[in-house]
Amino acid sequence: MAGGVLAIRPRALGDVVLTTPALRALRLGYPDAPLEVVTEPRYAPLLEGLPGVARVWRLERTLAGTLALARALRTRRYALAVDFFGNPRSAFLARASGARRRAGYELRGRARAYHVRVPRTLSPAPGRREYAAATHLRLAVAAGGIADGLATRVNVPPGAHAAAAGLLARCALAAGEGIGLVAAGTWPAKTWPAASAALLARGLMRAGRRVLLLAGPGEERQGAALAPLAPGLAVLPPCDVPVLAAVIARLAAVVGTDSGPRHLAAALGVPTFAWHGPTHPDTWTPPGGAHGAWWTSLPCRGCDRTTCPHWSCLPELSPERATALVLDHLERHGRTTAAVGPAAGA
C-alpha cells in the first residue's frame, strides 16, 4: 500500500485507551503501511511504543497548533485517514491530511469529510448498547482493518514506573496493596457525592483494605473534601498520565465512577468495578468477569447527559451497597501483592 495510515483520536483518556484495538486492526489490515496517530500531548506516551505504531503526533488545543499540525500531516501523503473522534477539529484534520481515503462516523455535518462512514451507535438488542472499543473496531474494519479482539493495550514508559514507586512510597502503599478509588467524573452528572465516596472509603478501610484516591487535574477540591471525611484515606499526589498508569499497574483494583482510570486499569490487567448513572454499562464495561458494574435503577438512566437539573442517579447509589458490592468483587477478582507482576514493579 503506497502511503501510510493516519488514526485520529485527540481525547479523552478512556476513549484513547479504547481506540487501541482499532489501531491494532489497522496495523493488521495494512501491514506494509506505517501507522501514525494524532492525540493530545498528555496521552501520547500511552501510544508511543505500542507494536505497529510508527509515530504519534501531538495535537495542541489551539487554533495555531491545529493549523500547524494540518500542514505537517499533509506532507505525509497518507493513503488512509481514520477519524475515531468525529468533532469538527478532527474531521478538519482528516480532510486537511490530504489522505486519498478517509473514514469516520456518520455524524451531522461530517458527510463530506469521509469516504467511508459507519453509524456511531448500534443497539445489539433492545435496551443494550455496543461496547465503545467495539464501535471503534467496527470503524477500523470498515476502513480495511482486520479485527484482533477487543483487548486494550497501553505503553507505560520505564521512567514512569520509578516515579510511581516513589509516589506510592509517600502514600505508604506496597505494590498490590491499594484499592484505587475514583469519585469524580468527567461530567458533573457522572460525579458521585463526596459524602458517598467517603463512606465507601471508610467501609473498605474497616474491612482491612487500603484505599488510594485517584484525583486527576481539576479534581483537587474533591480530594481536599474527602480526606477529612475518611481518616486514613491516601490521596495520590498530582502526576502526569504515564505515571498515573504506572501507579494503577501496581494496585489491587480500581473502583468508582465510570472514568478514564478504569479503562487504564483494564488495559493493564487490573480488576475494576464501576457504578453508572447517565452512562450505560454496556458501553463502558470492559469484557470479562474481572470488570464489574452497578447501575442506578432510575428510569432516566443511560441518558448520556453531561449536566442534569435534578442529578438523582448517582446520589441514588448508596455507599453501603457500593461497599458490599466492591468487597464481594475484590474477594473474587482483586489482586494481591504477590500477583502484581514484574512489569508493574519495574
Q: What is the pLDDT of residue 153?
A: 96
Q: What is the pLDDT of residue 345?
A: 43
Alpha-carbon distance 214 to 254, whole Å? 9
| Same fold: 5-142 with 159-333 | yes
The pLDDT tens digits for 226-237 are: 888 999 999 998
The pLDDT tens digits for 300-326 are: 888 888 888 877 888 889 999 999 999
**pTM of structure:** 0.92
Superfamily of domain 5-142: Glycogen Phosphorylase B; (3.40.50.2000)
In our burial notation (b when 16+ CB lie closer than 10 A, e otherwise), range 186-220 reads: bbebbbbebebbbbbbbbbbeeebbbbbbbbeebe
Delimit the domains of the chain by residue range. 5-142, 159-333
Inform me whether the pLDDT recorded for 332 exceeds 50: yes
The pLDDT tens digits for 240-250 are: 999 999 999 99
Inform me whether the pLDDT recorded for 342 exceeds 70: no
Q: Which CATH architecture has domain 159-333?
A: 3-Layer(aba) Sandwich (3.40)
Q: Which triple of cell numbers denotes residue 71?
A: 500542514
Q: What is the pLDDT of residue 2?
A: 65
Nearest to 20 by CA among 157, 144, 140: 140
CA distances from 285 to 14, 234, 293 (A): 11, 26, 7
The pLDDT tens digits for 33-91 are: 999 999 999 999 999 989 999 999 999 999 999 999 999 999 999 999 999 999 999 99
Helix (H) or strand (E) holding 221: helix 220-229
